[in-house]
Amino acid sequence: MEVIKNNKIDETIYTEILDNGMKIIVIPKNNTKKKYIIWSTKFGSIDNHFIEPKTGEEIQVPDGVAHYLEHKMFENENGVDSLYKMMALGLDANAYTTNDHTAYLFACTDNFFEGLDELMSYVQKPYFTDENVEKERGIIGQEIGRYDDEPSWKLYVNAMDCLYKNNPIKLDIAGTVESISKITKETLYSCYNTFYHPSNMVMCICGDFEPEKIIQEVKNRLIPREKMEEIKRIYPEEPKGINKKEKEANMGINLPTFMIGYKDELEEDRVKEDLAVQIIFNSLLGKSSNVYQELYNEGLVQTSLDTSYEYSKTYAYVLIGGESSNPKKVYEKIKETLQNEVVKKEEFERSKKKIYGDLVSEYNDVENIGRMYLSDAIKDVNSIEYIDKIETIDLEYVNKILQKLFKENESIISIVK
């Protein structure tokens, strides 16, 4: 077991790689009654083309399989839905699918081990039939329709289409009505047997636990699986540069929304760059910044801008979003600021302190901790790195990232009117 203690925030993280390859992360929180567990497989919407480890066969599955599989995992041969069973225990249970992973989780104050029994049962015992797979098709088709009618989702999907030409991140996580029509029980079993192997899974547990004991409880509930070779994923080659400069959609909204994006190159130290981008946004686009005050005084924005830096092993990008009566004018002002301004020392110091405070506050809630450590572990990042590395960032590095990332020819805008 690896033990990492951070004295700055008085937190200790315990990590163990089991014999079957599964990673378990435990963050003890002895001052709370709340408990949280999240169990994830590194199988998301972008993983639709791979080499089957046992046979060596190249397989391409329909878009939306990871999400479809998530829906079907709760069904049992005895007809009981595990999600409802966990809710009956008083657990706040859920699941979700992203671009790079699928996760199953619950939070509770009581009945944790009953919940653990159920979680580790349904995730390890899939039950797919022609009938129950067909039944789900209409349900997911309706979900796809709802997302298609959601302006915020359309804004994001169009932004991805502008940024990327071939990368599957531009695909809808749920797929399309046409793509899910091709999913069968054989498709689901093939993906389950490949991606739901313990060596491709991560579990994070946070609450009042003794690390050795809770890890043993997990081991006691694991079903033995044969060892498996590393999964070889196949991704299309992504050309440098953006796919298109802008994309607009018309939907039933009162005020236009926009999403500005910058495509980034893949770098080694993503944590450090993520922190630098947060400092840049706080300094140059935050509510106290000159450009925000100018936009606000002109009536071009009414609320703060939504900013984020997203990355994985196959993509990295920046998004800046908001509402405006004139999105393109906001776009030009933001581009001008990011291309011509620099972060000054006073702004740098203030932003760095704010971000450090935000990072520390994440450790106040077991759910925040669990989600954070799980999503970072999928990227092969230990979340504590953010606390350690923020002290290593200097003003010169931040302005170097500012100059490298925010280039005119790497920017796009998605607008929903």
Catalytic residues: 70
CB 397 within 8 A of CB 276: yes
Compute CA 252 distance to the chain's CA centroid, rounded to the nearest angstrom.
28
Q: Three-class SS of residue 88?
A: helix
Beta strands in 290-403 (DSSP E): 306-311, 316-323
Cα separations (Å) of 270 from 115, 246, 335? 35, 27, 23
Q: Give the N- to C-terminal CA distance of the chain in Å, as an integer.
A: 53
Of residues 367, 389, 96, the one with CA closest to residue 268: 389
- How far is Cα 376 from Cα 334, in angstroms, rounded to an integer? 29
Beta strands, E only, 66-195:
92-97, 102-108
Rounded to whole angstroms, how far apart are CA atoms 395 and 150?
A: 40
Contact 37, 201 (CB under 8 A): no
Tokens of 105: 């989780």
Using CA atoms, how far apart are residues 290 and 293, in angstroms rounded to an integer? 5
CB half-sphere exposure, 410, CA atoms < 13 A: 18
User: How many angstroms separate the Cα of 406 from the Cα of each of 141, 156, 196, 322?
Assistant: 38, 19, 38, 18
Alpha-carbon span 105 to 371, nearest angstrom:
10
Report whether 293 contacts 133 (CB < 8 A). no
d(CA 211, CA 274): 30
What are the residues whose beta carbons fall under 8 Å from the beta carbon of 71, sequence distance 6 or more? 136, 139, 140
d(CA 215, CA 284): 45
Place of tokens 């315990």: 14
Residues whose CB falls within 8 Å of the CB of residue 410, separated by 6 or more in sequence, listed in order: 241, 242, 262, 263, 264
